Amino acid sequence: MILQSLWEGLEASAVGTYIASSDWAFPTIETLHVIALVTVVGSIAIMDLRLLGVTSRNAQVTQISNDTLPLTWVAFGIAAITGSLLFVSKATGYVKNPYFLAKMVCLGLAGANMGYFHLTTWRTVHNWDGTMTIPRAGKIAAGLSLAFWFGVIFFGRLIGFTLGIYQ
Amino acid sequence: MSVGDLLYEFTEYLRTTSLPEQALALQASAPSTYLATHFWAIPIMQVIHIIAIAAAFGSVLMINLRILGWTGKGRTMTWTVRRYLPWTWWALLFLTITGIGMIIAEPPRELVNPVLWIKLGLVVALILVSIAFQQSVIRPNLAQWEVTHDGRVAVRFAAVGITLLWCAIMVAGRWIAYAPV
């Protein structure tokens, strides 16, 4: 109940009502969200595919990580800001939408997977940095990362089909 | 004249062509009926389209940011081009297939839509510019890039321009859905 009033409050806020009522604001923010999201997923996939041994095989894992991570974080920041703005404009509808909730679950799992990988497998990276013998845990983390981020894209796209259903 | 007015004029023009008729004929065809009556067909094509954009745009950024000297500086230009360039062209294959699929699934919404034609024009421009850039700038200069990190100023402008062209195509792609048809 407290949460429900929070969602209603966000939706009724100046930012929320502006985005919801403007002709251009929602599509424009959504477009920025898409550009940021493909950058996040594209850069993360480069790292995941290296861990899986599919690409960049002749480069060190830490090099690929250094090359892609700054891009990933900048793009993720833009995706989070634009995503929050989209959410605020229709907060009460989004929290009822199962596809939105599934997207948030995938996002949480992607984050947890990355966190676990960095706290465990990544600690030994210097033992296998320039090699193709990636620990099994690292390959599993990379596969899960791709799956969760594809899930974010899949459920995110379905939100667009169901905005009118869950209001 | 506002952008909206221009798009409206463009739509009016498209309506005077044979496109609406052809779109309706395509809509009556078996493949179109199949895609339109299977609920998951359109979202699945869209998701594959977006994943292909992620693969291509991620690769394009890695090359262009390397040219600008912002990231990947430890990798040679030869390595960067060999690693990332093929992904952009493979992605184009998937983008073309799913793109055609989406047009077949909803012909009037796509073919009588000014934003679709603007997007396709930008795509053709991007392909031509990219081929020219790869053939006449990147490949002949690979050896020189191995000794200096940053490209010449004109090359850097081209890298920025190609990245912006990609963004413009993604903007148009998203706005196909918002153009009143």
Report the percent of chain A where pLDDT is more than 70.
Answer: 99
Distance from the Cα of A14 to chain B's closest Cα (Å) equals 24
Helix count (H) and strand count (E) of chain A? Answer: 8, 0
- Chain A residues inside the 8 Å CB shell of B64: none
DSSP string, B108-120: HHHHT-HHHHHHH
Mean pLDDT, to the nearest integer, of B109-113? Answer: 95
Q: Which of A165, A150, A27 is nearest to A86 (CA)?
A: A27
Q: Is there a contact between B175 and A150 if contact means CB atoms under 8 Å apart?
A: no
**A42–B174 CB contact, under 8 Å:** no
pLDDT tens-digit series, residues A117-153: 999 999 999 999 988 889 999 999 999 999 999 999 9
Q: What are phi and psi of B51, to 5 degrees?
A: -65, -40
Instruction: Report how far residue B19's alpha carbon sits from residue B25's, in angstroms, rounded to the nearest whole number.
Output: 10
Euclidean distance between CA atoms B63 and B60, whole angstroms: 5
**Rounded mean pLDDT, B34-58:** 97
Residue B54 contacts A where some CB pair is shorter than 8 Å: yes
A153: chain B residues, CB-CB within 8 Å = 47, 50-51, 54
Compute the half-sphere exposure of residue A166: CA atoms within 13 Å on the CB side of its CA: 18
- The answer to whether A94 and A87 are in contact (CB under 8 A) is yes
The pTM of the whole model exceeds 0.80: yes
- Could you give the CA distance from residue A98 to residue A162 in angstroms, rounded to a whole number? 9
* Interatomic CA distance for residues A130 and A151, integer angstroms: 30
How far does CA A109 lie from the centroid of its chain? 10
Contact between B43 and A158 using a beta-carbon 8 Å cutoff: yes
Chain A from 63 to 102: CB within 8 A of any B CB: 63, 66-68, 70-71
Residue with the bigger pLDDT between B71 and A148: it is A148
Strand residue runs (E) in chain A = none
**Residue B147: its pLDDT value, please?**
57
The angle at the Cα of A132, spanning A127 to A136, to the nearest 5 degrees, equals 75
pLDDT in tens, A15-40: 999 999 998 999 999 999 999 999 99
- Residue B138 above 70 pLDDT? yes
The C-alpha of B57 sits at a distance from chain A's nearest C-alpha, in angstroms, of 7
Task: Give residue-wise pLDDT tens across range A62-117.
Answer: 999 999 999 999 999 999 999 999 999 999 999 999 999 999 999 999 999 999 99
